[in-house]
Structure 1
Amino acid sequence: MRKTLTSLLYSLPLLMAVAASSQAMDKIAPAAALTAQTEGKVRVIIMTRADSTFKDGGNAFRRPAAYLSKHLSLPARDVRPIGQLPMVSATVSADSLGKLREDPNVAYVFRDELRKAQLFDTVESTGAQKHDDAGFDGKGWTVAVLDSGVDTRHPAFKGAIVGEACFSLNYSGDDGTKTSFCPGGKEQVIGKGAGVNCDMSFSEMCLHGTHVAGIVAGRPVKLKNGKVVHGMAPGANLLAVQVFGGVDSEQACGQQKRCILSSDSDILRALEWVYSLRNEYKIAAINMSLGGGKFTEPCDSQTPYADTIAKLRAAGIATVISAGNEAEQEAIGMPACVSTAVSVSATKKDGTIDVNYSNVARFVTVAAPGTQIFSAIPGRRYLRLDGTSMAAPHVAGAIAVLREEKPERTVDTIVKLLQRAGQTVSDPRTGTKLRRMDLARIRIPGGETQSAIMTEAANA
């Protein structure tokens, strides 16, 4: 029986010049202004200017959170910094938005959106086996999985998980009440046990992160039928990062009335944590099979993610994000729409784009298998699932393998390799062409290609 769920997606930047003056453009995102007007309050992410002085009356403040708490008359516990980014998250009133609009220290105010895991309901079809046979399986490299947590006791992850964290705020906002899934109900936990999957009794979507992590770097496991299954990079390590919380809201969850969701601020805190580990681990990629929205072109000026994803890419860390499962013909979700992200659409086992669910756009980075993907789920079990959520981790795992082969490869180089070695696939609805990942067409150092492709020097 075909299992159906719903898939995942997400999203910044803003050129710091975006609000060089209040005359340049309104500093308040329309969605934030509308919600505050209709609901009386709104959850927001406040981006401050790089040249901010943070003075309020006769008081000077070193940190934006302390300044904004005083300036907006909010309890300090309700104004949360986002790592080392020039951002804080808070719930504010319409009057407070007016203060922020006039504040010269504020660059822009985003609505802190809730994001969902987007599961729509493999390895052999990606060419990865050729690299595995040559001894390259991602060993020595690490992939961070920002998701609903991982069943760390599953045999697929024996010895794989080298770090865990959880970022999930508790709050009651215009879009419902969100309860953290972090141990003890805390909003941030780092260490063993922090990245464990959320409780399946709350939502079946709590299996999502385990399934995704298994595609990235599941260790070889022999099933009862004798078949051995494993992920794209079975030698790679994992950082298990739980970023979801439980929401009881028909407005946010629809007919389910309760679901698991993550906020942009949760995800940004997690991205900052991974970035802080860049010198401790050799991090090849971050996988984010989550998001939402509809964007027909790169969205850097409309999201709080752009600067962070660009910073990660410059540090050699690819942020791989699923394109979304709304069957859009020329649009993808956020934060996959960020120009420096590695966005991924989904193909069927025959290599064609699965137009039944996969979002497609001309600016998608690459396509990869996403239909009927067999991977681990909590409780030592396995399951087949569909979604761009399943396609993205194929690419994240492949990047770990390619970095093991040549550590000096940059994200730009790897993206060019994946695109130029990929097979061309077309969306039958529009004719939009994408490149389907095919590692068999990428030369193994010291080996031969199975197909004639451009040399890596030409691809650089």
Structure 2
Amino acid sequence: MARHLCRASNINNKALLVSIIMGVCLSSSIATTTIARSIDAMAYRVTVDDDRLSSLLYPSSVGTFDDRVKFRQSMQATPTQDHSMENYNYVNDMNIYDRYIVVLREGSSTEDRSTLIEEIKKDSSLDQIRIPQFIDEYNNVFVGFSISIPRGDTNILKVIQNNPRVEIVEKDQQVHMFAQTLPTGVNRVDGDLSSTESGNGQGSVDVDIAILDTGVDLDHPDLNVYRERTFVSGTSSADDDEGHGTHVAGIAAAKDNNMGVVGIAPGARIWAVKVLDSTGSGFISDIIAAIDYLTQNADQVDVGNMSFGCECSSSALDTALNNSVEKGIVYTAAAGNDGSDASSFSPANNPNVIAVSAIVDTDGKCGGQGHSTTAGGDDAFASFSNFGSTVDIAAPGVLIYSTFPDDSYATMSGTSMASPHVAGAAALLKSIQPTATPSQIKESLFSTGSKPSTICDGNGHGYFTGDPDQFHEPLLYLKHQPGSLLYVFATQTNNIGTIKSYYDIVFRTSTSGPIKQIDVDFPPGTYVGVSLLVETVGIGPGKISASGTTATGQTITYTVNNADTIPAGTNIRLQFSNIANPQEPSRSYSVTVTTIDSNNLVLDGPTQSRSYIIK
């Protein structure tokens, strides 16, 4: 199963809980920060490497993250929900049954799967007591299914393995969760200075984020839950019965509503996808079913966050993720909390997901001036975080304050908390670049992140210390920088009959503000002539006048009369005609666009367009 990577350190003053804030997570090697006085659904069964349990529980003898707390791998599974297939008499006891994931070869049909299932049924028909259970079926990431087979029944397994339609047969595994005030995490990456200005009471994002986790509090007033679906047996909805998923959701997308907290992508539509149970554990087979569901809805879902994992590998999970990314969904994954190389942890080790490590931040600023924690000093690499070449980017993951079930809020730590920071950032980029591919989103996050060479600006733009390897992943950074007009394109078509050239220049704004002037610069030697504005989109008609240039000049200046504030993400199109020489030979060149506000300050740009050809 996968483990979610963190644990709460404060649970809204519940009478039966004693909060011991140590800045660390209970799950996957993180020291406990909350101890339940009563035995309830949030209590974990754990074993500790040695007899230092007391040092993990009592603040007078707080241990370090080297005090590894591990989930028992012998956890009993609960009966798995039948999502779509015939429900056989089934005892989901892992001492009696083994679960397997079956992937059919590329090009296989659902009819091929049905034929294979009938063969399995026929082979097992003599045993009416211990017969196999078909659990999940997969249609969108690949054609396949998951099945539970009586332990020791090699006949059924051979039927599957020997079938020529089958590409992969692998034993199912369990994963575990890795454990309004402006959260320090949002502040540290300058989310309040991003294109949505998280925390100003006005930011909102038209984008969809799937939270694959323990579920989400479906009624939390600070979360915009849009869809919900559970893949966990014994549950009928994705309502959070642990707390981890709700916390993750708030980091990514809590509303900007002057209450509670605000997320990186405020108010984004949340798809609550429950794949982990009330203990924070789940089966890879069910996670694949969830990814299959999201892929079916890839035209709506933009980003998926996975704050869980296991020290394992799964070809089936990798295949599902790869195919889902190919359909356009960006996936972020927690690197893990074992303080080791992330290359052995799935799904973080999939090269097509964005693997996220954690840093400590306690004051929302670079410079290391905040207080220290048991995970390290301010602006240091978190001691529990996994590392290595597999990790793509770092984000805050210690003492993160976010939403929690029952309309409450809590502080939690772990790479589980770092990952949704990046998921929210990816969602921001998708909201202003809807056609951007997952690889383009990934590259954009890398290019704008803080580097080791970045000099601290006293706010959020600055690197961290203590990176344990030579692979210095960028630190997530969101503040808008001049020069980030998006999708600047320019085309010119010469019309010999009318002796005119028609220009189309389109771009998307990255900063909200009153655009007073738009400068379009052409390369030296470009014949421009007198500009006659034909059409505008994104700025009201009749509000723009243009000044012409000479044949040797390079700039056309558009002046916006009575400038109104143009929101970030607005598509602007300028189409104009020029008296030109239609015999000019075709060649490739580009334009540079700058937007200027009423105070003559640059809003966006100068940004160069992609090359175009005179036709």
Shared fold, TM over 0.5: yes
The correspondence of residues 62-141 of structure 1 with structure 2, limited to 5 A, is 62=114, 64-73=116-125, 78-84=133-139, 85-92=142-149, 93-94=151-152, 95=154, 96-119=156-179, 122-130=185-193, 131-133=195-197, 137=203, 139-141=205-207
Match of 1:435, SS state, is coil
Q: Are 2:299 and 1:286 aligned? A: no
Task: Work out which of the residue numbers 141, 165, 170 in structure 1 matches 2:229.
Answer: 165
Task: Work out which of the residue numbers 234, 246, 256 in structure 2 matches 1:220.
Answer: 256
Q: Are 2:418 and 1:368 aligned? A: no
Q: Are 2:345 and 1:333 aligned? A: yes
The equivalent residue for 1:208 is: 244
Larger Rg: 2
Name the amino acid aligned to 2:268. Answer: A
Per-residue CA deviations over 1:215-245 (Å, capped at 9, x if unaligned) read: 111113545xxxx621111131111111123
Name the amino acid aligned to 2:187. Answer: E
* Aligned-residue CA RMSD (Å): 3.4
Cα drift, residue 293 of structure 1: 0.4
Cα drift, residue 352 of structure 1: 4.2
Distance in structure 2 (CA, Å) of the matches to 1:395 and 1:421: 12
Distance in structure 2 (CA, Å) of the matches to 1:307 and 1:396: 21
Q: Which runs of 4+ in 1 moved over 6 A?
A: 74-77, 448-458
Task: Work out which of the residue numbers 387, 409, 413 in structure 1 matches 2:440.
Answer: 413
The correspondence of residues 302-317 of structure 1 with structure 2, limited to 5 A, is 302-317=314-329
TM-score by length of 2: 0.54
Task: Work out which of the residue numbers 470, 478, 490 in structure 2 matches 1:439.
Answer: 478
**In 1, are the aligned partners of 2:387 and 2:469 still within 8 Å (CA)?**
no
Match of 1:145, SS state, is strand
Percent identity over paired residues: 24
**In 2, are the aligned partners of 1:54 and 1:64 still within 8 Å (CA)?**
no
Per-residue CA deviations over 1:222-278 (Å, capped at 9, x if unaligned) read: 45xxxx6211111311111111235xxxxxxxxxxxx33110111111111111122
Distance in structure 2 (CA, Å) of the matches to 1:218 and 1:53: 41
Change (3 A) 1:155 1:336: same
**In 1, are the aligned partners of 2:238 and 2:273 still within 8 Å (CA)?**
yes
Q: Are 2:214 and 1:148 aligned? A: yes
Match of 2:386, SS state, is coil
The equivalent residue for 1:195 is: 238
Cα drift, residue 356 of structure 1: 1.5
Match of 1:100, SS state, is helix
Change (3 A) 1:51 1:209: closer
Distance in structure 2 (CA, Å) of the matches to 1:152 and 1:222: 20
Structure number with greater CO (CA < 8 Å, separation at least 6) is 1
Change (3 A) 1:77 1:218: farther
Per-residue CA deviations over 1:100-128 (Å, capped at 9, x if unaligned) read: 33333322221111111111xx1111122
Per-residue CA deviations over 1:74-123 (Å, capped at 9, x if unaligned) read: 8887123423132221222341334433333322221111111111xx11
Change (3 A) 1:69 1:354: farther
Cα drift, residue 41 of structure 1: 4.4
Cα drift, residue 311 of structure 1: 2.0
Distance in structure 2 (CA, Å) of the matches to 1:353 and 1:312: 34
Q: Are 2:383 and 1:356 aligned? A: yes
Name the amino acid aligned to 1:69. Answer: K
Distance in structure 1 (CA, Å) of the matches to 2:471 and 2:430: 30
Task: Work out which of the residue numbers 191, 208, 230 in structure 1 matches 2:262.
Answer: 230
**In 1, are the aligned partners of 2:116 and 2:160 still within 8 Å (CA)?**
no
Match of 1:384, SS state, is strand
Per-residue CA deviations over 1:23-47 (Å, capped at 9, x if unaligned) read: xxxxxxxxxxxxxxx9674211122
Distance in structure 1 (CA, Å) of the matches to 2:607 and 2:465: 21
Cα drift, residue 452 of structure 1: 11
Cα drift, residue 209 of structure 1: 0.5
The correspondence of residues 389-400 of structure 1 with structure 2, limited to 5 A, is 389-400=416-427
Change (3 A) 1:335 1:456: farther
Cα drift, residue 72 of structure 1: 4.9
Match of 1:305, SS state, is helix
Task: Work out which of the residue numbers 44, 48, 61 in structure 1 matches 2:100.
Answer: 44
The equivalent residue for 1:239 is: 271
Distance in structure 2 (CA, Å) of the matches to 1:54 and 1:310: 20
**In 2, are the aligned partners of 1:426 and 1:434 still within 8 Å (CA)?**
no
| Greater per-residue helix proportion | 1
Change (3 A) 1:387 1:455: farther
Distance in structure 2 (CA, Å) of the matches to 1:406 and 1:353: 32
Cα drift, residue 138 of structure 1: 5.5
Change (3 A) 1:452 1:415: farther
Distance in structure 2 (CA, Å) of the matches to 1:417 and 1:382: 31
Cα drift, residue 2 of structure 1: 2.8
Unaligned regions of 5+ residues in structure 2, if any?
1-20, 29-93, 180-184, 362-367, 369-377, 452-463, 486-508, 512-601
Match of 1:358, SS state, is coil
Change (3 A) 1:49 1:209: same
Change (3 A) 1:51 1:378: closer
TM-score by length of 1: 0.72
Per-residue CA deviations over 1:139-189 (Å, capped at 9, x if unaligned) read: 2210010111111222211xx1111110114xxxxxxxxxx3x12xxxxxx
Tell me the matched-pair count.
370
Cα drift, residue 324 of structure 1: 0.7
Distance in structure 2 (CA, Å) of the matches to 1:66 and 1:441: 57
Change (3 A) 1:3 1:436: closer
Name the amino acid aligned to 1:305. Answer: L
Change (3 A) 1:64 1:162: farther
The equivalent residue for 1:277 is: 297
